[in-house]
């Protein structure tokens, strides 16, 4: 029996790989170097599913993932995964802390470790990489003394030394990942639905008129935020996570009502909501 193919934000050694292995350790994992490439791999059938980051507890939403879901892809969220994030500072085995003048990592990781870097490496240049694993590769091939913010697995894969552990500014630091697929998940009675919507015009009470639809039916909203519509200043698309499955009778009726009050409504998927273990 052929193994399921899952695309993920690689290369091997990223937090996304760790989340993907947690989701399905028996699948054939296909690493891609950007979130857009992961989405394209699933869109075109190279992979059956794709795993990408969507939100971090310290830095907020991953805007590239949101924008792809809103504007550029018909894929749906099939599952959400939550992973504790532990950032480590990696170097070549023979490099000491005072020598480091360049630090590589993904922009999200650099932001999540900002205070540590400012305190311990105030003169080092921060250089953005496509992923934390790619940052370790760049560090290991650098001709100048460098460090990288990466994972313990990346250190093992590339023969790097962990110079400092758990350097994130705050703990717990967790990232939410989503599994993208052509179809979302069937109802489980403990679901979440993600939607986005926008308005053609702009006048007081527009957003309130939508939110009151949920409030009237006692539907809990887990998250609400906005993204630029890319159609001009002051034009936004609103994103909402709500409790319930899009095929539930109540949720379906509420979404129909919301559709009449907006110019655009897109369901991004229904899926089992993550529940913290005691």
Q: How far apart are CA 150 and CA 66, in angstroms?
A: 24
| Residue 151 lies inside a defined structural domain of this protein | yes
Residue 87 burial (CB count, 10 A): 24
- Whether 175 is a known active-site residue: answer yes
DSSP for 23-55 reads H-TTSEEEEESSHHHHHHHHHTTS-SEEEEEEE
Same domain, 55 and 177: yes
pLDDT tens digits along 187-223: 999 999 999 999 988 788 889 999 999 999 999 999 9
* Residue 39 and residue 75 in contact, taking contact as beta carbons nearer than 8 Å: yes
**For the whole model, what pTM was predicted?**
0.85
pLDDT tens digits along 60-86: 999 999 999 999 999 999 999 999 989
- β-strand pairing of 191-198 with 264-272: antiparallel
- Whether 188 is a known active-site residue: answer no
Number of structural domains (the chain) is 3
pLDDT tens digits along 120-147: 999 999 999 988 999 999 999 999 999 9
Catalytic residue (choose from 20, 65, 151, 175): 175
Same domain, 148 and 196: no
Instruction: Find the CATH number of the domain harbouring 77.
Output: 3.40.190.10
The pLDDT confidence band at residue 51, using thresholds 50, 70 and 90, is very high
Would you put residue 13 in left (φ > 0), alpha (ψ -120 to 50) or beta?
Answer: left
Mean pLDDT, the chain, whole residue set = 93
| Residue 278 lies inside a defined structural domain of this protein | no
Same domain, 149 and 14: no
| Residue 126 lies inside a defined structural domain of this protein | yes
Q: How far apart are CA 62 and CA 23, in angstroms?
A: 20
Of the residues 181, 207, 231, which one is the last residue of a structural domain?
181
How far is CA 228 from each of CA 95, 107, 235, 238, 261, rounded to the nearest angstrom? 44, 21, 6, 9, 19
Positive or negative, the Cα torsion across 43, 268, 6, 132? Answer: positive
Catalytic residue (choose from 177, 197, 199, 238): 177
Of the residues 181, 212, 238, which one is the last residue of a structural domain?
181
| Residue 61 lies inside a defined structural domain of this protein | yes
How much is the CA Rg of the chain, to the nearest whole Å? 21
| Residue 277 lies inside a defined structural domain of this protein | no
Domain containing 100 equals: 88-164
Spacing of C-alpha 59 from chain mean position: 11
Q: Which of 16, 61, 85 is nearest to 223 (CA)?
A: 61
What are 11's two structure tokens?
Answer: 């290369």
């Amino acid at each position: 029996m052929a193994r399921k193919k899952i695309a993920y934000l690689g290369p091997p050694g990223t937090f996304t790989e760790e989340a993907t292995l947690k989701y399905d350790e028996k699948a054939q994992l296909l690493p891609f170097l950007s979130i857009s490439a992961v989405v394209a791999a699933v869109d075109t059938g190279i992979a059956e599913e794709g795993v990408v980051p969507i939100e971090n507890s310290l830095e907020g939403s991953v805007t590239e993932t949101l924008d792809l879901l809103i504007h550029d892809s018909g894929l749906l969220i099939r599952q959400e995964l939550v992973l504790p994030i532990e950032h480590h500072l990696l170097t070549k085995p023979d490099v000491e802390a005072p020598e480091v003048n360049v630090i590589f990592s993904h922009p999200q990781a650099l932001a999540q470790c900002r205070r540590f870097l400012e305190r311990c490496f105030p003169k080092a240049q921060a250089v953005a990489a496509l992923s934390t694993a790619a940052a370790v590769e760049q560090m290991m091939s650098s001709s100048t003394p460098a460090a990288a913010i990466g994972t313990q697995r990346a250190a093992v894969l590339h023969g790097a030394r962990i110079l400092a552990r758990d350097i994130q500014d705050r703990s717990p630091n967790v990232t939410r990942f989503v599994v993208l697929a052509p179809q979302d998940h069937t109802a489980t009675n403990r679901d979440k639905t993600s939607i986005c919507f926008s308005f053609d015009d702009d006048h007081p009470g527009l957003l309130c008129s939508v939110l009151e639809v949920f409030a009237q039916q006692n539907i809990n909203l887990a998250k609400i935020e906005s993204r630029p519509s890319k159609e001009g200043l002051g034009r936004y698309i609103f994103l909402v996570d709500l409790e319930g499955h899009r095929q539930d009778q109540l949720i379906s009726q509420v979404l129909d009502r919301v559709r009449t009050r907006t110019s655009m409504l897109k369901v991004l998927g229904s899926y089992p909501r993550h529940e913290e273990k005691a």
